[in-house]
Amino acid sequence: EIVLTQSPATLSLSPGERATLSCRASQSISSYLAWYQQKPGQAPRLLIYDSSDRATGIPARFSGSGSGTDFTLTISNLEPEDSAVYYCQQRSSWPSFGGGTKVEI
Amino acid sequence: EVLLVESGGGLVKPGESLRLSCTASGFSFSTYAMNWVRQAPGKGLEWVSSISTVGSFIYYADSVKGRFTISRDNAQKSLFLQMNSLRVDDTAIYYCARDLNTIFGVGRNWFDPWGQGTLVTVSS
């Protein structure tokens, strides 16, 4: 089983700042990583897949990078609507998710 | 517009069964692999099961293997999850999710989009 560890647990930032979220895999997963955004009371939404490819309709402010075991989601020019919990997910083996990072704007 | 609508959730006792449904619209259902993902109250996400376009390939998380059965009816554009021998720790919102890409009938396990979810509560 591949374990994904996300950090920090909570990130508090101001509008216009940049958020950097980390996801570390317990073993190499190549570039098989995705990021999801979940707002309260809503279903998750796919932001990034294959480590760095943006899903349809996702603003360019969201970018992903990394390979192997270390991955980053960067949100530039934060907006109040970016307040949410962000999850990473791997598909190198049976799908698994990280514990999430809560971003407060 | 792609739409996934889950139904069938509710309150059941440990050991009982429940069948969830997911009705799809706005896309060619038969050409996409489909998935179930759940989220316990206040907790993170857990993949439950996946099924290929014609049901030839089916996968389950270890936590539900032998108790849950995924199936689909392409003519009715519907996905199902039969849940037997339910346990208290199966309590969660169950989301139906389409696979982002399906290659040769098998999904790549990127989940997009998701339905709004249906709540399953297992309690005595």
Does the pLDDT value for residue B102 go beyond 90?
no
Tens-digit pLDDT profile for residues A15-74: 999 999 999 999 999 999 999 999 999 999 999 999 999 999 999 999 999 999 999 999
Picking from A45, A50, A97, the nearest residue to B45 by CB comes out as: A97
- How many angstroms separate the CA atoms of A28 and B29, rounded? 33
Residue with token string 């003519």: B75
Question: Among residues of chain B, what percentage have pLDDT more than 70?
Answer: 100
Average pLDDT over all residues of chain B:
96
Q: Are B68 and B82 in contact (CB under 8 A)?
A: yes
CB contact (8 A) between residue B45 and residue A94:
no
A41 touches chain B (CB under 8 A): no
Picking from B100, B108, B115, the nearest residue to A43 by CB comes out as: B115
B40 touches chain A (CB under 8 A): no
Strand partners, A89: A34, A97
Q: How far is CA A19 from CA A32, A87, B76, in A?
A: 22, 14, 43
Does the pLDDT value for residue B92 go beyond 90?
yes
Q: How many CA atoms lie within 13 A of B105 on its CB side?
A: 9
What secondary structure does DSSP assign to B10-31, as a single string? EEE-TT--EEEEEEEESS-GGG
- Other Cβ atoms within 10 Å of B40 Cβ, number: 13
**Closest chain A CA to residue B35:** A95
CB contact (8 A) between residue B45 and residue A91:
no
Residue in A35, A45, A46 to test binding to B, most B beta-carbons within 10 Å: A46
If you average pLDDT over residues B57-78, what whole number do you get? 97
Q: Which residues in chain A have Cβ-Cβ distances shorter than 8 Å to B116?
A: 42-43
Strand partners, A97: A89
A29 vs chain B: nearest CA distance in angstroms?
14
* pLDDT of B106: 83
CB contact (8 A) between residue B111 and residue A44:
yes
Does the pLDDT value for residue B103 go beyond 90?
no
Q: Are A30 and A76 in contact (CB under 8 A)?
A: no
Does the pLDDT value for residue B101 go beyond 90?
no
- How many angstroms separate the CA atoms of B46 and A89, rounded? 10
* pLDDT of A36: 98
Residue B53 has phi, psi (to 5 degrees) of -60, -40
